Structure 1
Amino acid sequence: MKPPLLERLKARRTMLGPAVYAAVLSLVLLALSGVAGLALHLPWLFPSLGPTVMLFFESPDQPSSRPANTLVGHLTGLVMGVLCLYAVGLKGSPPAPVGGLSVAYVAAGALSVALTTLLLTWLRKPHPPAGATTLIVSLGILTTPPELLSMAGAVVLITAAGWGLNLLLGTKPVPAK
């Protein structure tokens, strides 16, 4: 039986093979999410998906690449972002990039990342891109229920597709614990 594609590429002792593997599969997943967003007229492509797909294909053997870590991480980021946005009274305010960074946005952003880190570390479900997800929400960039649901949908889509591609191509991701 032939070794998985990624392992054969790594065996060539050059980083070009694994780099192309990660780049092409990242392109496929982000394009898939973007096409879903275009079809639905919703933000199914947002910044924290980039590092998530990079983890899937650059570091499939790391715990932070596990599907459970990805799903729990981004869900935690969404929830903490919303909670902090409301807690500091920013719901309905212009997003920080539009209205300007204020003390309240700094508090919401810093607190949301701290709480996301606390919960994910406590649960032993590390997924660093979730820190970007929580900032997207706590800084007021994507906050409406349809936007939050589309973010969750995009995370589910790329997680399922990324896991499936890795399995299809023979990459053995780290088992779930």
Structure 2
Amino acid sequence: MAFWTALPWVFPSLGPTAFLAFVAPAAPANHPRRVLVGHGVAVLCGAAAVHLFGVADVPAELTRIDLAHLGAVTFALAATGGLTVLLDAEHAPAGATTLIVALGLIRDPRDLALVEAAVLVLVLVCAALRRLGLGQQPPAPTRPPGHVP
């Protein structure tokens, strides 16, 4: 899709999401709802963080990070972690997504929406492959008895 549309349908945290979807589809963290909600929360937290810390139009310098970007990254990671636990949507690659957004590597609102669209396409491809018998069905996400987020 990235090739045909010349849009950024491919981003770094999509790789680990795809890897986990194919290597460990039955792992609770790889349930489609957790994948979609986890990345969605990550995008929103990263976008909120860059606005909150005033760096929405300033990409980070990856070799030397300034305090504003450090604040944005810290806030985005903490908010993503907390919200995904609260929403029962933990998905480790979402942590990379929130970093990508909080560092300003993906900033355009259209591109932020494409991140979630790309995750949705990946989830649909995985579901189609499982329907064809090419993978395990993921179990529904569950919490251990007595777990309180």
Rounded to whole Å, the distance in 2 between the matches of 1:136 and 1:82 is: 10
- Equivalent residues in 2 for 1:74-93 (5 A)? 74-93=39-58
TM-score normalised by length of structure 2: 0.88
The answer to which structure has the higher helix fraction is 1
Rounded to whole Å, the distance in 2 between the matches of 1:170 and 1:99 is: 42
Shift of 1:156: 0.8
With over 3 angstroms needed to count, the CA separation of the structure-2 counterparts of 1:85 and 1:99, relative to structure 1, is farther
Shift of 1:168: 1.6
Rounded to whole Å, the distance in 1 between the matches of 2:131 and 2:30 is: 13
- Equivalent residues in 2 for 1:117-136 (5 A)? 117-136=81-100
Contact 1:57 1:166 (C-alpha < 8 Å) held by counterparts? no
Give, as a single letter, the amino acid of the residue that structure 1 aligns with 2:50. L
Count residues with an aligned counterpart: 141
Question: In the alignment, what sits opposite 2:75?
Answer: 111
State which structure, 1 or 2, has the greater radius of gyration over its C-alpha atoms. Answer: 1
TM-score normalised by length of structure 1: 0.75
Contact 1:42 1:146 (C-alpha < 8 Å) held by counterparts? no
User: What residue ranges of structure 1 are gaps of 5+ in the alignment?
Assistant: 1-35
Contact 2:27 2:139 (C-alpha < 8 Å) held by counterparts? no
RMSD: 1.6
Shift of 1:167: 3.0
Equivalent of 2:9, from 31, 38, 44? 44
| Cα offsets for 1:23-59 (capped at 9, x unmatched) | xxxxxxxxxxxxx112211111110001101111111
Give, as a single letter, the amino acid of the residue that structure 1 aligns with 2:109. P
User: What residue ranges of structure 2 are gaps of 5+ in the alignment?
Assistant: 142-149
Aligned-residue sequence identity (percent) comes to: 35
Rounded to whole Å, the distance in 1 between the matches of 2:16 and 2:39 is: 12
Rounded to whole Å, the distance in 2 between the matches of 1:151 and 1:100 is: 26
